[in-house]
Structure 1
Amino acid sequence: MEHKPLIMGYWQNWATEGARDGYENGTSAEVDLTDVPKEYNMIVVSYMKGAGIPTFNPFNKLEEKFREQIDKLALEGRQVVLGLGGADAYIELTKGNEKYLADEIIRLVDFYGFSGICINLEQSAIDAADNQTVIPAALKSVKDYYKNEGKHFLIALAPEFPYLSLSNGKYLPYLSSLEGYYDLVCPQLYNQGGDGMWVEEMDQWLSQDNNESKEDFLYYMMDSLASGTRGYTTIPHDKLVMGLPANKDAAATGYVIDPSAVLNVMKRLKQSGNAIRGLSAWSINWDAGQDKNGQSYSYEFIKRYKDIVTPV
C-alpha cells in the first residue's frame, strides 16, 4: 500500500521566550500552530500530561482559539495529534483507570479536533505502575469508538530507540498490545550517546553519537527495525518514521550535519524494499529557534527535507 510521505513535527506547548533552553544555550521559538510551515503535514502537540488522569490545556491560547487553529490545519489536510507524556512528565496509571483515560482522550479529541495520540513516555513513566497495560487498553477502546463512528483515530508511538531492542524493550508491551491498532512508530535517534548496534556486514559497532558513520547508523537502525534483526523488534517499514533533532540545540547528540546522509538513507531503504513513511523533527519550535548568539535556525530542518513530501 502506497502512503503519503510524512514530515512530523513536535510543537511545544510551553513558554520559551528568552529561556536559553537548548543544549548549546540557544532558545526555541514560540510558534502559533497556524504559522507552522505547510510541509509539516503532521503536528504533534506536546503534551497531554499531569498527575492522575493526564489532560491537556493550551499554554497561551483560549481553548476555543486553539481549537480554531486546529480546524484550520485540518482544512489544509494536515493532521494534529496529541502527544502523551514527554521527557519531564511522570504519568502513573493503575488498573481501573482505563475508562477514565479513554473518556478524557475522547473529550479532548471531540473538543479540539485532534486526529489521534502519540505515546511519548520516557524514563520511569514508561513502565510505571500499570501504564504498559492501561494505556494500550484505553487507546484500543478509543480507536474502536471512533471506528464505530466511521472515523480513523491515529495511534503513534515515539520511543527512544534502545527501548525497541529485545534486551531493553520497555516499549515492546505497548507494541504487542497495540498490534493491529498502531499506525506509526517514530524511534528517537538522538540523545542516546554510544548506544547503537553491531553490524556484521561492516564488522563494526555503529553508535548513535558517531558523526563519521551517521548515514550507516541511520540506515542500519531503520533496516534493523524493518527486518527485526540485530537485536531489535520488528516494525513494518511503512509504519516507521525516522526521528531526528531539528538542530544541534535540540538534542545533546544525534544532529545530522550533512542532510545528504538522511536523503541517502531514505533512498537505500526504498531500494531494499523497506521504504519508510517519513521523518519527524524535535521540534518545530527548535526549527524556528535561534542559537546562543541570536542567529535564527530559519527552519533548517524543513528546508532540508521538504522535498520528500508533496505539500498539502
Structure 2
Amino acid sequence: MTTFTYTGPKAPADDASVMPDIRGKKIFMGFWHNWGPSAGYQGGLTGEVQLEDIPVEYSVVAVAFMKGGGIPTFKPFSQTDAEFRRQVGVLNKQGRAVLISLGGADAHIELRNGQQQALATEIIRLAEVYGFDGLDIDLEQAAIDFADNNKVIPAALKLVREHYAKEGKHFIISMAPEFPHLASSGKYVPYLTALKDHYDFIAPQYYNQNGDGLYVPGLNPPWLAQNDGVRKEEFLYYLTTALVTGDYGFTKIPADKFVIGLPSSIDAAANGYVVDPAFVKNALKRLVKDGNGIRGLMTWSCSWDCGTNKAGDKYDWRFKRIYAPIVDEMS
C-alpha cells in the first residue's frame, strides 16, 4: 500500500485550526449558500447571512458546495480566504463545526480510480486554508455513481481521517442523500458500506421526491408519499423507522447516527415542507418510545431560514426557532 503524505499548506494556530468534536452530541445542522441571493420555489428570496452571524443553535453548518471538473474544489463567493477562515474560527470557538459539502444538485463530479490521493490532498488543503472540520457528501443525480465516485471519495476520506487522527483531531464525515437512494439497493449504499466505521452521521433529504415514499403493510392506505402533507407524521415516523432498522426495503443506518433533513420554508424545496411542526415533534416522540431516538435535524438551508417569501415577509429563522428546542429536548 502506498503511504499517503500531505505536503500542502499548513493551517496557522488560530480558532479555525480546532476541529470541534461532535461525537455523542445532538445535531442541529443547516446548509449555507456560497453564492448570492436566489429565488425560491414559491417566488421568495434567500437571505444574505455571514457565517459568523448564523444563530448559535445551528451546531453544524455545511458550506455549499465543493465541486467542479477534475478534482473538485471550493472558493469563497464574497470573502477573502482570510476573512472566511476568521468566520469559521468564530463558530469553532463556540464549539460548532463547519463542513464543506461535496456536490449539490447541479454538480458534475467525475473521479477515476487512482485519484484518491489527489482528492484527499485537496480536501486537506481546503481544511487547512479555510478551517473546515469535515466533509458532507451531497452528491445527487448522475454524480452519485458516475465514473468511480463511489470508490474514490470513500477512499480519499479515509486518508483524510487518518491524516487528522495523527494530529489528535477528528475529521467529521457525513452524508445528505435523497432518501430513495437509501433503498437496500440504492445508489448511496456503496458509500455507506465503504464508510461504515467512519461516518459520523447521515442526514437524508426528506424533500424534493414528490410521490416517492414507502410501503407499510397494515396501514390504510399502505403507501406513504413524501408529498402527502396530511399524513406527514406517519411518513416521518415510518420512513425513519425503516432507515434505522433496515426494514421496508431500506438499508440500515444506526439511530445514533441519523439526522432527518427537512426544508426550512416553502421556498427551499419543491415539496416536503412540513406545515405543522407537531408532525415532527410527534414522530420524534414515537421514535424515542420505540427505542429509536435519532441524533437531530438538518435543514436546507440557513440561507432560506433567514430569507423572505414572495410577499417580502421575512421567514425570520422560523425553522431554528421551532425546531432547535425540539432537538434540545430529544433524549
Q: Do the structures match in fold with TM over 0.5? A: yes
Residue pair 2:164, 2:170 contacting (<8 A) in 1 also: yes
Q: Which runs of 5+ in 1 are unaligned?
A: none
What RMSD in Å do the two structures reach over aligned CA positions? Answer: 1.2
Q: How many residues align?
A: 306
**TM-score, normalised via structure 1 length:** 0.96
- Number of the residue aligned with 2:131: 113
Name the SS for the 2:61 alignment partner.
strand
**Which of these residues, 43, 48, 65, is aligned with residue 47 of structure 1?**
65
Pairs within 5 Å for 1:169-184:
169-184=186-201
Distance, in Å, in 2 between the alignment partners of 1:215 and 1:159 is 21
Q: How far does residue 166 in structure 1 lie from its aligned partner after superposition?
A: 1.9
TM-score by length of 2: 0.91
1:310 Cα deviation (Å)?
5.0
1:157 positional shift:
0.7
Q: Does 1:7 align with 2:25?
A: no
2:230 is matched with 212
For 1:55 and 1:251, the matched residues in 2 are separated by 25
Q: Does structure 2 retain, via aligned residues, the 8 Å contact 1:44–1:83?
A: yes
Give the CA deviation at 1:121: 0.3
Q: Secondary structure at the match of 1:211?
A: coil
Match of 1:151 in 2: 169
Determine the C-alpha separation between the residues in 1 that align with 2:259 and 2:56. Answer: 18
Task: Kindly provide the amino acid, as one letter, of the partner of residue 277 in structure 1.
Answer: R
Query: Does residue 1:196 correspond to 2:228, yes or no?
Result: no
The one-letter amino acid paired with 2:24 is H
1:84 partner letter: L
In the alignment, which residue of structure 1 is the partner of 2:184? 166
Shift of 1:3: 2.8
CA positional deviation for 1:42: 0.4
Q: 1:63 aligns with which of 73, 81, 84?
A: 81
What are structure 2's unaligned runs of at least 5 residues?
1-22
Runs of 4+ in 1 over 4 A off after TM superposition: none
Tell me how far apart the structure 2 counterparts of residues 154 and 263 of structure 1 sit (CA, whole Å): 27
CA distance in 2, matches of 1:146, 1:282: 28
Match of 2:7 in 1: none
* CA deviation map 1:200-259 (0-9, x unaligned): 131410000000100000010110000000000000000000000001000111000000
The question of whether the paired residues in 1 share the 8 Å contact of 2:297 and 2:327 is answered with no
DSSP-derived class of the 1:212 partner: coil
Partner of 2:289: 271
SS of the residue 1:11 aligns to = strand
Matched residues in 2 for 1:102 and 1:81: separation?
Answer: 15
Partner residue of 1:185 out of 202, 205, 224 = 202
SS at match of 1:30: coil
Between the aligned residues of both structures, percent identity stands at 52
- The SS at the match of 2:231 is helix
In the alignment, the residues of structure 2 paired with residue 306 and residue 121 of structure 1 have an alpha-carbon distance, to the nearest angstrom, of: 26
For residues 283 and 159 of structure 1, the distance between their equivalents in structure 2, rounded to whole angstroms, comes to 15
What corresponds to 1:222 in structure 2? 240
Measure, in 2, the Cα distance between the counterparts of 1:244 and 1:308.
Answer: 14
Residues of 2 paired with 1:121 and 1:308: CA distance? Answer: 28
Is 1:33 the counterpart of 2:54? The answer is no
Per-residue Cα deviation, 1:148-181 (whole angstroms, up to 9, x for no partner): 22110110011000000024x0000011011101
Q: Is the 8 A contact 1:39 1:309 kept in 2?
A: no
